[in-house]
Each structure stands twice: as C-alpha cells, then as structure tokens.
Amino acid sequence: MDENVTTAVLEQWVRRFAHLVAENRDYLTELDAAIGDADHGSNMDRGMRAAVAALDASPPETCGALFSKVGMTLVSTVGGASGPLFGTLFLRIGSTLGDDANAAPLEVAAALRAGLGGVVDRGKAGPGDKTMYDALAPAVEALDEALAAGTDLAAGLKQARDAAAAGRDATTPMLARKGRASYLGERSVGHQDPGATTVALLLEAATEAPF
C-alpha cells in the first residue's frame, strides 16, 4: 500500500482548488447565468478565499480539522444552495478523516464517498438531475475502483478527475430537476451545470497536488 498522505498535502489540494475556482470565477458565473442566478462563480470564489484566509490564520494540524474548517467557512460565507452543499461535502470529508495528521489512500476515498453521501442528504439529488452529483458520484466510483485494483492514490485521483470531467460534460444535455434551473424545464437542456463544473475543478486540483 502507498504511504499515507499528510495534512500538508491535503491542504495543498484545498489551496489549489481555491486557485482554480478564482481562475474560473467568471466562467462559473457565466454558466450559472444561463440556468441559474449568475452568482455561482463569485459566491464560490468568495467562500474559498475566506477558507484560504482561515487556513492562513491558523494552520490545521489534522486532516479532519482542515476539511472541517473549509466546510464551516463555506457554509458561513457562500450562501445560496452552494454554501450548504459544498460546505457539507467538506464537513463530511473532515468528520470522516478525523483527528489524524495523516490519511491512508483508502481513508481518502472513504472520506470522499462520505462527502458524496452528505451532498445527497442535503440536496436530495440523484443521478441525472443535472447537479454536482453527476460529476461527484462518478469520481467517487472511479477512485474506489482504482484503489481496489491496486492503483496508487495519485493515479487513482487522475482517474477520478477524468470521471468527474466526463460527468460534468454529461450534464449538458440533461433536463434540470433540482434547484433554480429546474424552473426552466426544457430550457435547461443544452447548458453545462455550474456545480458539476466546480466538482470537476476540485478533482483537477487533486491531481495538481503532490499526492
């Protein structure tokens, strides 16, 4: 089995995610303007900036503290539906990883799966609803399968990234059944889901961190 990952490596993942959200802020907002209320990019960027500021202010010593801090910050700064959904994702990852300074690859995968469970509990979305679920669930599956096949964590995360990107692309032809986009009915078809796009960035960030 691989070596365990440290809190510091996981923190680099989170910081890389914040960087990608900032870079894609206007793009995410444009996607949201088409089927939502045109604030996803600016809200997520505000939240991740606040999260990075919180990490700067007091560097977390455990994996659980890291993700819990990010989750709480997102819940209290993002607003809308993205705050509770992405906040719950991080909080659930944090509570699963717990008070250890390191995490084994299987623990990382289990935490990501628990995060998905948190998103489902909070948002009640399932496959094909045109939400963040449609990128996150395939990524969780891909990581589990890769690790089960003996792949190391870094390579497994690359497979998860590809699965998230494919899931993100698959949201375009979907009819939205959750959130503000669902008011549009047929008019939501043909637009990529902003939440799924952000999830793909989260997995892309993982492959850019030194796992």
Is residue 172 helix, strand or coil? coil
Output the smallest distance, CB 29 to other proteins, in A: 11
Confirm if 16 and 209 have CB atoms less than 8 A apart.
Answer: yes
Binding footprint of other proteins on the chain (CB under 8 A): 37-39, 43, 75-85, 87-88, 122-123, 177-180, 182-185, 187
Closer to other proteins by Cβ: residue 123 or 167: 123
Q: Which amino acid, 153?
A: L
Output the smallest distance, CB 39 to other proteins, in A: 7
Torsion sign across C-alpha atoms 162, 110, 97, 89: positive
Contacts with 114 (C-beta within 8 Å, 6 or more apart), sequence order? 92, 93, 95, 96
| Separation CA 209–CA 154 (nearest Å) | 9
Closer to other proteins by Cβ: residue 35 or 63: 35
Output the smallest distance, CB 46 to other proteins, in A: 10
Output the smallest distance, CB 48 to other proteins, in A: 15
Closer to other proteins by Cβ: residue 6 or 42: 42
